[in-house]
Homo-oligomer: A and B are copies of this chain.
Amino acid sequence: MLETEKNYVYVGKKPFMNYVTGVVMQFTTKGAQEVTIRARGQFIGRAVDVAEVASKRFLEGTVKVAGIEIGSEEFQNEMGRKVRVSSIEITLKKDPQ
């Protein structure tokens, strides 16, 4: 699959179920084989919640966690101070079995 064809869901401050529905629809309506859930900073825990609820409640037995990566970016804030923010990427994949 080309990088440009990857299906991303970015988790932020919208209502929780928006993200779960987003993930579920990619698999069910759009026929995606793989969806990657991304978040930064304070939304990392939420991304894990989205992945768990989507894969265990809504898509149970059809989708599994295929990979998880964490990372971090450093940048300067308005005060000129170095700030580090962590990020996470959780990839869900259609389970052939």
Shortest distance from the beta carbon of A40 to any chain B beta carbon, whole Å: 9
Query: What's the number of copies of this chain in the assembled complex?
Result: 2
- B90 touching A52, Cβ below 8 Å: no
- A45 touching B53, Cβ below 8 Å: no
Query: Quick one: CB contact mask for A13-36 with B, threshold 8 Å, 1 for yes?
Result: 000000000000000000000000
- A48 touching B90, Cβ below 8 Å: no
A to B CB contacts below 8 Å, 20 in the list: A41-B45, A42-B45, A43-B45, A44-B44, A44-B45, A44-B48, A45-B45, A48-B70, A48-B86, A49-B86, A51-B70, A52-B70, A52-B71, A52-B72, A56-B72, A65-B70, A68-B68, A68-B69, A68-B70, A70-B90
